[in-house]
Amino acid sequence: MQVVVARIGRAHGIKGEVTVEVRTDEPELRLAPGAELATDPAGTGPLTIESGRVHSGRLLLRFAGVQDRTAAEALRNTLLIAEVDPAELPDDPEEFYDHQLVGLDVVTADGTALGSIAEVAHLPGQDLLIVARTGGGEALIPFVSEIVPDIDLDAGRAVVNPPPGLLDGGDET
């Protein structure tokens, strides 16, 4: 299965390095030198990581064959995709891959069915669960422990504790 692990940002310097927006909790594994990653759009890859370093709190990567700023800038906004075994689970029991969450039934703490998780949106501030509501429409639920206290993969459900107003208007489409 393919998992998006990063998005390439702007070029850094003149020797082909790029900034990356990390989208994995395991960058040391997924974005290590020697890793070959598929890309979206597919025509820009695959890319092999030649080196990586942290500079001013940002991860910088250099790819094999990308030797200058012009080539690095051409990669901007490209998604980096790793091949992951579907049976593989994150080390931390409080972390989940998107494919584990999509399709889970969403219920409130009192058992009221809300719908099912259609997608996980990764935003700069936090992740959102996009829930296809049982009665139609969508609800956007911040994926934080205060609002989503329980994910039970074996039971196929996510328990939510929405604050007042979250589900009755503002965040529905």
Q: What is the pLDDT of residues 64-112, one digit of tens each?
A: 999 999 999 999 999 999 887 777 776 677 778 788 889 999 999 898 9
Question: Which structure tokens are listed for 114?
Answer: 């809300």
SS (H, E, C) 20-78: EEECCCCHHHHCCCCCEEEEECHHHCCEEEEEEEEECCEEEEEECCCCCHHHHHCCCCC
Q: Residue written as tokens 């890319």?
A: 47
pTM above 0.75, yes or no: no
The C-alpha atoms of residue 61 and residue 166 are separated, in whole angstroms, by: 39
